[in-house]
Structure 1
Amino acid sequence: MSATLSGSTSSSAPVPIVFELQPQPLTAPLAAALYGDAGKLESRLFPDGESYLRITSAVYGRPCLIVAELSHPNGKYLPLLFLAATLREFGAASVGLVAPYLSYMRQDIRFQDGEVVTSKIFARELSRQFDWLVTVDPHLHRYNSLDEIYTIPAQVVHGAPALAQRLGQMPDVLLVGPDAESEQWVAEIAQLSGHPFIIGNKHRHGDRKVEIVLPPLEEYKQRTAVIIDDVISSGHTILQCLQQLQANGMKRVQCAAVHGIFADGADEKLMAAGLDALITTNTIAHSSNAADVTPLLVKPVTDFLHRQGSAASR
């Protein structure tokens, strides 16, 4: 379900306390839009690497939510569970999770004997700790929805409207989807921004080797090509698409994505390869953040706060 950019909430909604474990660019504006209070939290690591957390906000009887983007999740997962469990212990009316980026969606099937299907285990454990979940464009490949693995109410927000608003300000753009998987985002952004688009074919030859084949580009050579994808991780797909665009005479190439993980310095490698600009949403903090998804989160979070408040009053 898509949200619009005109997200708003009512002051009659339950007033939440909003916590974050790591600085997140959208936490403060989201808390303000929800008329929420900033959760006060002390955190650090002991010398042996174990987490220390101390909640200094009074949370008894209050709805609480935690904003936590879960890229590179292994170091974030335990503190997140510790915080959620302690909020419950201290009497929070409800505990919700806003995960702008939701990890452990890749391994959704057992390809080889003995493999761990991490997506199901991760979803089961998060579902035990939280009352609801709001996330942005999770990588749903073989799952039709989060409901297949999460047992709590979950709402998916699409980042396309935020990217479309940013790209709609640019003239003479050609949107480029590297492969069929990207078509859902490219088509929506094209519809919202009014720009034409093309979709390539991707042939994967391993985790870090892909081949992109693009349709003819002769009529678009005077435009700025903007490669669209949901996640930039290793950047190999984007790099292959960039090289194909350059080989076909496109002089100006940019890239826009919902989530910018940029593993192993992928952002620097893409810029060095001739990319003119990187544009990402603020689901994961990065210097390329130029599209704000915060307004898209307000309505689904408010809806969950209302639902939890109504359930508590019955």
Structure 2
Amino acid sequence: MHKVWLGPSASHYEGALSRYPEIKLVDSSIRYFPDGESCIKLEEDVRNEDVIVLQNTAPPQDLNLRHLYQMVDVLRHNRARTITCIVPYLAYSRQDRRTHSGEPFSAEIVIRTLAMLGADTLATVELHNPKMDISTTMKLVNLSTDNLFVKWINHLTLERPVLVAPDKGSHKRIQKIAQIVDIPCVCLEKYKKADGETWYEENGELDLHSRHAIIIDDLCSSGSTLIPLCKYLTDIGIVSVNYGVTHFFANSFQLKQKIGADLKIYCTDTVPTDDSNISIEQLLFSFITKEWRIIS
């Protein structure tokens, strides 16, 4: 039996996880005070138990981080044997280095705080930079959504599809997925001016005219990269864009209006919105019941 403590921002996974007899959801409660503070309370004994905390830190990030810290502190105080945190979207993970001497290394602050409070393992989905230079005794696990998007692609019914890697950082991932689903791929080069203007170029090895593009991305916060990408693809003859993204924060209606092309958005529920249409339920279940034991 795997004990899982669902935090306030992960309550949308309760229905899915409660269906599995291998998972026991931990009893807890939360109080909110007039001054805006809150307090999470554990309602059962976890002494010498291995406990998995499932708490998201999508917006509002600071509130959800505070609840995560409280949960880890409570488990350590109540002598849980091990504490594993599953955080589908890890807040501040994009601040993965100091770009200027006067700026904080915010991702490191979050990770080191969890380790200090007593967490043994932190698992997150599609970490922005898995190679961050952080010194910690806590195990860091990056859960990939590749299999979820392979399944999604296999259910698409497109004539002459092509997988598009929008920048160098995504080339290997897209090439790997393209081999699995047996779809041709093209790797673009992204360029950006100092003022933020972005444009793309491709090598011309594949004729993209009248094809349907499939893009897989880890995060979309505003669409500042997606908008010029879709404009470039439509300018060279792409018929439609099917955009699969793990962490989606943008306003889909406004994006489609600005792009003005045939754009379909498919995103996971790591950031729960009305647009979420790909569940990470199986990814969570697999980690909780299989991978977690191996890593621990």
TM-score bin (small chain): 0.7 to 0.9
Match of 1:4 in 2: none
Matched, 1:180 2:168: yes
Residues 2 and 288, structure 2, Cα contact 8 Å, conserved in 1: no
Residues 210 and 237, structure 2, Cα contact 8 Å, conserved in 1: no
* Per-residue deviation, residues 141-175 of structure 1 (Å, max 9, x unmatched): xx6367x4442122222111101111112233211
User: Which of 222, 230, 233 in structure 2 is aligned with 1:242?
Assistant: 230
Using the TM superposition, give the Cα deviation of residue 240 of structure 1 relative to its aligned residue in structure 2, in angstroms: 0.8
Match of 1:71 in 2: 58
Q: Secondary structure at the match of 2:2?
A: coil
Counterpart mapping for 1:166-177 below 5 A: 166-170=152-156, 171-172=158-159, 173-177=161-165
Q: CA distance change for structure 1 residues 41 and 48 in 2, over 3 Å: closer, same or farther?
A: same
**Unmatched runs of 5 consecutive residues or more in structure 2:** none
Matched, 1:155 2:141: yes
2-side partners of 1:297 and 1:178: how far apart?
Answer: 28
Q: Partner amino acid for 1:134? A: A
Q: Partner amino acid for 1:257? A: V
Q: CA distance change for structure 1 residues 89 and 119 in 2, over 3 Å: closer, same or farther?
A: same
Residues 185 and 228, structure 1, Cα contact 8 Å, conserved in 2: no
User: Which of 258, 263, 279 in structure 2 is aligned with 1:292?
Assistant: 279
* Per-residue deviation, residues 46-75 of structure 1 (Å, max 9, x unmatched): 221111322223333332221122223222
User: Which of 5, 24, 27 in structure 2 is aligned with 1:40?
Assistant: 27
* Per-residue deviation, residues 191-238 of structure 1 (Å, max 9, x unmatched): 222221112211223585422234449733333212221111121111
The TM-score, its normalising length taken from structure 2, stands at: 0.86
Q: Secondary structure at the match of 2:151?
A: helix
**Greater CA drift, 243-252 or 267-276:** 267-276
Counterpart mapping for 1:84-103 below 5 A: 84-103=72-91
CA RMSD between the two structures: 2.6
Match of 1:138 in 2: 127
Q: CA distance change for structure 1 residues 48 and 233 in 2, over 3 Å: closer, same or farther?
A: same
Matched, 1:269 2:254: yes
Using the TM superposition, give the Cα deviation of residue 15 of structure 1 relative to its aligned residue in structure 2, in angstroms: 2.8
Using the TM superposition, give the Cα deviation of residue 278 of structure 1 relative to its aligned residue in structure 2, in angstroms: 0.4
Q: Percent identity?
A: 22
* Per-residue deviation, residues 104-145 of structure 1 (Å, max 9, x unmatched): 2223332222221122222111122311122211011xx636
**Unmatched runs of 5 consecutive residues or more in structure 1:** 1-13, 309-314
Q: CA distance change for structure 1 residues 45 and 217 in 2, over 3 Å: closer, same or farther?
A: farther
2-side partners of 1:20 and 1:275: how far apart?
Answer: 38
Residues 225 and 253, structure 1, Cα contact 8 Å, conserved in 2: yes
2-side partners of 1:235 and 1:261: how far apart?
Answer: 9
2-side partners of 1:117 and 1:299: how far apart?
Answer: 31
Q: CA distance change for structure 1 residues 226 and 205 in 2, over 3 Å: closer, same or farther?
A: same
Residues 17 and 62, structure 1, Cα contact 8 Å, conserved in 2: no
Residues 39 and 57, structure 1, Cα contact 8 Å, conserved in 2: yes
Using the TM superposition, give the Cα deviation of residue 40 of structure 1 relative to its aligned residue in structure 2, in angstroms: 2.5
Q: Secondary structure at the match of 1:234?
A: coil
**Greater CA drift, 287-296 or 190-199:** 287-296
Higher relative contact order (CA 8 A, sep 6+): 1
1-side partners of 2:96 and 2:3: how far apart?
Answer: 33
